[in-house]
Amino acid sequence: MRTLNYTITTLEPLIITSHSDDPNMYETLQYIRGTVIQGLAAQQYLRNYPADDDFTRLIIKGGCVFTNAFPVHGNYAFQPAPFALVKEKYDEGKVHNMLLIEPDMQTKGISNMVAIQVNELKILTLRKEVRLHNEIDDTRRTTSEGVLFNYQSVPAGIVFKGQIVVKGSDNDLKIIKELFSKGEYRIGRSSTAEYGLVRFEWLEDTVTEDSIDKITKDSSGVDSDSKAILTLLSDTIVFNVNGFSSLSINDLSSYLTEAGVIKAISRKARIEGFLNIWKLRKPSENVFAAGSSFLLDKMPANVKELQESGLGERTQEGYGQVIFASANDLNPELKAMKFKWDNINQNPEEIPSLTRKILKFSRLNRKKSLLIGQAIKDANSTKKAPKNHLVSKLKILSQDPETFSRNLKLLRETAQGQLKTAFIGNKTLLQFLNQRIEKFDEICPLKETVEETYIDFSNNVNELKQVYFENYFNQLRRNNNKK
């Protein structure tokens, strides 16, 4: 097994929806589900290849494991807080591991993401954004009166790190790596609007032989007879003997080779997915929630396999990510420190695509207005203008700016004579028209920076030329009619 390591940086607010008791609030997770990355991989594959056997094997049936992507900041890698860790109610700087000791003071749980480092616990405070939206009536294409809802999102500027574990050959590794080039993608809810734009990058040490970043030592370096602690990094699906999802500790123990559960501090949850291509929901499952912790009588014999491939069912979707630690190596008490992600990029270098489109549209309309004014001014400065029938013909020819200059040369001598006897300043009208075609950026710069945002109008140059020449020749006709 080899692992492909990557980072995802949010360029716009991101919504990875979670269950909410409020029907008018769509809440977000603080990490990216493996199912989101799996869905993106499927989308990229089908854009380049047919839905063949490799697609089924690598994306659908578990040839690759798409792990959850968790926030990273410098040397800190965050994960869901283990439920076994609690902080004192009146001294939140002290944290106790309830699998190892029974604190005699009042405690409360930790709901944030955390980074565990020897004797310290960094508790992440990640600011979330809440925005109000109107529901759209699809039949009328207007807002539905009185129907409001809120989106909670992770802000732009957050970096997540994840892995794709490839179980197969070098060719499989190559296929998966080629699916994602360094660039921008859209993920999460409302990704077609103002949410979900992210930048995907493979890390320099993209391929590693060991699959998942381990907080613990390899199982070969741990005393197999010492007690161990199992922590779930993601929701975990466990089946009973009848093939149904179960929350029984005995059913979970069946996945651990030669090890049993002594004590558990866990919570249950319920998950359900959605297959967009079929517009159908996946079967809902009862799961052990991410953060659930278990004290084992010893380290399982299959610890390495579980850390690489996951525990339970549907592990290829990111469910069942686990870490193990020897109970002897863990401190029963930790010093807690709040970690505020205070350098979130409030003004990312790459502004949201919708904002960029609105800004470009606004600037494009402004350029058109300026060109209309310039065209009228140039027409009023034209002396001995051609007759109206030639002006009308020139207007038609100018609507294809790429061939306009060539078509001017194909005009009859009488028409060319009219263009050579008309003047704007010290240039004939023929010279003037050719100059406007070849050096159009003299009156209309095609590249500009607006409030530190670079905008390129090169793709709109023909549209802008059409606006100029149409208004120029229209004004010439109006001036001729006044004579």
The reply to whether 305 and 443 lie within a common domain is no
pLDDT value, residue 360 = 86
The reply to whether 51 and 176 lie within a common domain is yes
Q: What are the C-alpha distances in Å from 346 to residues 11, 108, 129, 155? A: 10, 33, 12, 8
**Pseudo-torsion of CA 185, 191, 195, 201, nearest 10°?**
-20
For the residues 29-46, what does the mean pLDDT come to?
90
For the residues 119-130, what does the mean pLDDT come to?
83
**Does the pLDDT at position 415 exceed 80?**
yes
The radius of gyration of the chain's CA atoms, rounded to the nearest angstrom, is 32
pLDDT value, residue 83 = 93
For the residues 194-219, what does the mean pLDDT come to?
61
| Model confidence pLDDT, tens digit, residues 146-167 | 567 777 888 888 999 999 999 8
* Residue 216 pLDDT class (50, 70, 90 cuts): very low
Kindly state whether residue 347 falls inside one of the protein's structural domains. Answer: no
| Model confidence pLDDT, tens digit, residues 227-245 | 999 999 999 999 999 999 9
The reply to whether 361 and 420 lie within a common domain is yes
Q: Provide the percentage of residues in the chain whose pLDDT is more than 90.
A: 39
The reply to whether 101 and 238 lie within a common domain is yes
pLDDT value, residue 342 = 59
* Residue 389 pLDDT class (50, 70, 90 cuts): very high
| 204 vs 426, higher pLDDT | 426
Q: What are the C-alpha distances in Å from 351 to residues 130, 341, 358, 367? A: 19, 20, 11, 22
Kindly state whether residue 346 falls inside one of the protein's structural domains. Answer: no
Query: Is 399 in contact with 468 (CB distance < 8 Å)?
Result: no
pLDDT value, residue 90 = 87
Domain boundary residue, one of 340, 367, 391? 340
Q: Rounded to 5 degrees, what are φ and ψ at 380? A: -70, -20
pLDDT value, residue 228 = 92
Q: Give the Cα separation of 26 and 82 in Å (integer).
A: 25
**Token pair of 60 as six digits:** 């659908």
**Does the pLDDT at position 218 exceed 60?**
no
- Domain of 376 in residue numbering reads as 353-482
The reply to whether 72 and 172 lie within a common domain is yes
pLDDT value, residue 331 = 83
Q: What is the average pLDDT score of the chain?
A: 84
pLDDT value, residue 358 = 82
Query: Is 392 in contact with 415 (CB distance < 8 Å)?
Result: no
Kindly state whether residue 254 falls inside one of the protein's structural domains. Answer: yes
| 479 vs 21, higher pLDDT | 479
The residue length of the chain stands at: 483
pLDDT value, residue 294 = 94
Kindly state whether residue 246 falls inside one of the protein's structural domains. Answer: yes
| Model confidence pLDDT, tens digit, residues 309-335 | 899 998 988 899 999 988 888 888 889
| 449 vs 212, higher pLDDT | 449
The reply to whether 452 and 313 lie within a common domain is no
- Report which secondary-structure segment, H or E, holds 261: strand 261-265
Kindly state whether residue 328 falls inside one of the protein's structural domains. Answer: yes
* Residue 296 pLDDT class (50, 70, 90 cuts): very high
* Residue 205 pLDDT class (50, 70, 90 cuts): low
Kindly state whether residue 348 falls inside one of the protein's structural domains. Answer: no
SS3 of 440, please?
Answer: helix
Here the contacts of 90-94 (C-beta below 8 Å, separation 24 or greater) are: 92/336, 93/335, 93/336, 93/337, 94/333, 94/334, 94/335, 94/336
Q: Rounded to 5 degrees, what are φ and ψ at 72? A: -130, 145
**Does the pLDDT at position 336 exceed 60?**
yes
The reply to whether 333 and 413 lie within a common domain is no
Q: Buried b / exposed e across 358-388, counting CB within 10 Å, b at 16+? A: eebeeeeeebbeebbebbbebbeebeebbee
The answer to whether the pTM exceeds 0.85 is: no
Q: What are the C-alpha distances in Å from 392 to residues 91, 387, 418, 466, 468? A: 85, 9, 14, 14, 15
Q: Provide the percentage of residues in the chain whose pLDDT is more than 70.
A: 86
Domain boundary residue, one of 277, 306, 340? 340
Please state the domain count of the chain: 2
The reply to whether 145 and 244 lie within a common domain is yes
Burial (CB < 10 A; 0-12, 13-18, 19+), residue 178, is: exposed
For the residues 211-220, what does the mean pLDDT come to?
38
pLDDT value, residue 211 = 35
Kindly state whether residue 300 falls inside one of the protein's structural domains. Answer: yes
Q: Buried b / exposed e across 8-36, counting CB within 10 Å, b at 16+? A: bbbbbbbbbbeeeeeeeebbbbbbbbbbb
- Least confidently predicted of 10-19, 46-55, 427-436: 10-19
The reply to whether 335 and 309 lie within a common domain is yes
**Token pair of 62 as six digits:** 């578990």
Parallel, antiparallel or unpaired: strands 333-340 and 120-125 = parallel
pLDDT value, residue 161 = 94
**Does the pLDDT at position 295 exceed 90?**
yes
For the residues 121-131, what does the mean pLDDT come to?
81
* Residue 225 pLDDT class (50, 70, 90 cuts): low
pLDDT value, residue 20 = 58
| Model confidence pLDDT, tens digit, residues 354-371 | 677 888 888 899 999 999
The reply to whether 383 and 460 lie within a common domain is yes
For the residues 92-111, what does the mean pLDDT come to?
89
Domain boundary residue, one of 287, 319, 340? 340
pLDDT value, residue 351 = 60
For the residues 431-459, what does the mean pLDDT come to?
86
| 391 vs 222, higher pLDDT | 391
The reply to whether 439 and 290 lie within a common domain is no
The reply to whether 265 and 392 lie within a common domain is no
Kindly state whether residue 393 falls inside one of the protein's structural domains. Answer: yes
Q: Buried b / exposed e across 307-320, counting CB within 10 Å, b at 16+? A: bbbbbbbbbbbbbb
